[in-house]
Amino acid sequence: KACLSRFLPSLARSALEKNLADAAIEISTDNNQEPELEDYKCEIASGSLRIGTVSAPIYNAHEKMKVPDVLFYDNIQHMVVMEDMLKDFLLGEHLLLVGNQGVGGNQGVGKNKIVDRFLHLLNRPREYIQLHRDTTVQTLTLQPSVKDGLIVYEDSPLVKAVKLGHILVVDEADKAPTNVTCILKTLVENGEMILADGRRIVANSANANGRENVIVIHPDFRMIVLANRPGFPFLGNDFFGTLGDIFSCHAVDNPKPHSELKMLRQYGPNVPEPILQKLVAAFGELRSLADQGIINYPYSTREVVNIVKHLQKFPTEGLSSVVRNVFDFDSYNNDMREILINTLHKYGIPIGAKPTSVQLAKELPLPEQTFLGYWAVGQSRSGIQKLLCPAETHHIDIKGPAFINIQEYPIERYEERAQTFTEECASWKLPLDEINLVCDIATSHENEENTLYVVACNPITLYFMNMTGKSGYLADFSDIFPRIAGRVWHPFVTVAPLGNP
């Protein structure tokens, strides 16, 4: 975490993991057991804030107007980050939050939301400054404004935060040149900095006695820096490589699918659940494509939240027209457009579909009913003798038991009604060989879940999967139905769920 190993190139990351292994430091890879949100609840009682297992006193702010208050829905991943931030905050550290592209997106992962919520819980006033490519040392320390027709240079948010003990939030820190942001290094490390107008910031009040133009750093002053990882597509500078060692670093990821779905339900309580599931699945695959370098822009949670908020406000507007607000910019690139359309169609988002795209089967009229005959049951006539059917008994030799190996494989559901309306709802691709033949299909419904069973021959194999899941299973019955050498024998089998006729 201290060196942000997830941002390292593959060669450097493998070298780091090797050195950690040589030092008997194990890397935890068990991410399946995600903590519950109940364990990371925010509680404020008796002037104290508790996040998870960490407690801190609430600050008595004099300028309550500068305490941020934003709409924030608790999320387990964000709460874990806020708990770690609170630990470092109590230790007197300055914080650096980095958006993680390796999991799903540089921008829009919620860094500003987390910081504003964090400062709101602590009741800390905030000074905000956003950097850009044209930021200079002078604009970082002085802020020009117009008063009575004259240009007046006032203290920048940085100087105000140093004077008053507020929290300075530096956004887009990677966009400014590193020779400009390097002046923050002396401020954080030594507590000293020379301003453009000749004033000097010092850490110790003893150094300010009898000296003019000296500003003493307030003991409550802290700095929270927000940055993205360097490189394409946002072309930021390597802020972490230059100044990362003086900050306590925290990586912010996109929420996991179930956490993101829960959060979207709160943003759009009236949006249908199937639409939310389609959006989460589609954007999850787009982020995976961005990680692989297939597409350039890593679509983040910000775009999904904007779509859901739009659908909540305008429920009669179609999903395909709403998602165009996000993807129309990429429609000029033909390759990019094809990838986006295929991905959205895969999850049932009908972008580019037309009302005339209806391909239903033709209706064939049935012939009129004609009377053919009837059967009488239980009415024996005279002269007809009852026949006794002979029965024979044979012993069956049962071999076994045979141990069946069940293998798991990933499956992908393709929504077939995204571009055209047909009787076909969805399809899956099974890992069939060229010589496999599908013999029979059966379904079962249990606990509101539908399970699909497909049996194939040559060799006899049973495929089964949950229709809403992402994994399928196959059982090879080659030991039960062995192939006979020298003879062509391809058994044809059927399958039926238990309890059905």
- Please report, rounded to a whole number, the percentage of residues in the chain having pLDDT higher than 70: 85
Residues 136 and 48 in one domain: yes
Specify the 3-state DSSP secondary structure of 175.
coil
pLDDT, tens only, 246-272:
888 888 877 788 888 888 888 889 999
What are the pLDDT digits (tens) for 182-192?
Answer: 888 888 888 88
pLDDT at 451 over 60: yes
What are the backbone angles phi and psi of residue 147, rounded to the nearest 5°? Answer: -130, 125
Structure tokens that stand for 119 in this block:
């400062």
Residues 52 and 177 in one domain: yes
Residues 266 and 232 in one domain: no
Tokens of 339: 């990838």
How many domains does the chain contain in total?
3
226, 196: one domain: yes
DSSP for residue 358: B
* Dist CA 126 CA 116 (whole Å): 8
- Least confident range from 151-155, 211-215, 231-235: namely 231-235
Query: Comparing 61-65, 124-128, 223-227, 348-352, which segment has the lowest mean pLDDT?
Result: 348-352
Tell me the pLDDT of the chain averaged across its residues: 81
Is 132 exposed, middle or buried, given 0-12, 13-18 or 19+ CB atoms closer than 10 A? Answer: exposed
Residues 162 and 279 in one domain: no
Contacts with 111 (C-beta within 8 Å, 6 or more apart), sequence order: 97, 99, 226, 252
Tell me the pLDDT band of 37, cut-offs 50, 70 and 90. low
Non-local CB neighbours of 258 within 8 Å, separated by 6+ positions: none
pLDDT value of residue 102:
30
- The CATH number of whichever domain residue 247 belongs to comes to 3.40.50.300
Residue from 186, 199, 259, 247 nearest 222 by CA = 247
CB atoms within 10 A of CB 1: 10
Rounded to 5 degrees, φ, ψ at 251 are -95, 135
Domain end point (choices 232, 252, 272): 252
Would residue 218 count as lying in a domain?
Answer: yes
Report the SS3 class of residue 307.
Answer: helix
Whether the pLDDT of residue 485 is over 70: the answer is no
> Which tokens is 258 given?
């179930």
> What is the rounded end-to-end Cα distance, in angstroms, of the chain?
59
Are the C-beta atoms of 262 and 299 separated by less than 8 Å? no
* Confidence (pLDDT) at 124: 92
Report for 32-41, 206-215, 429-438, 489-498: range of highest mean pLDDT: 429-438
Domain assignment of residue 269, given as a range: 257-346
CA–CA separation, 182 vs 186, rounded Å?
8
User: What's the pLDDT at 103?
Assistant: 28
Residue 126 banded pLDDT, cuts 50, 70, 90: very high
43 and 162 inside one domain: yes
Q: How far apart are CA 197 and CA 212, in angstroms?
A: 13
Asked if the structure places residue 353 within a domain, the reply is no
Residue 148: C-alpha distances to residues 139, 143, 152, 208 (Å) = 21, 16, 9, 34
Q: Which residue spans within 369-460 are E strands per DSSP?
A: 406-410, 414-415, 426-427, 437-446, 449-457
**What one-character-per-residue DSSP string does 87-115 give?**
HHHHTT--EEEEE-TTTT-SSSSSHHHHH
pLDDT of residue 385: 65
Residue 260 has, within 13 A of its CA and on its CB side, a CA count of: 24
- The 10 Å CB-count burial string (b at 16+, else e) for 163-183 is bbbbbbbbbbbbbbeeebbee
* Tokens describing residue 494: 């059927």
**Residue 46: what pLDDT?**
84
Q: Are residues 286 and 410 in the same domain?
A: no
Residue 396: inside a domain, yes or no? no
- Whether residues 223 and 268 share a domain: the answer is no
Selection from 127, 197, 132, 113 nearest residue 163 by Cα: 127
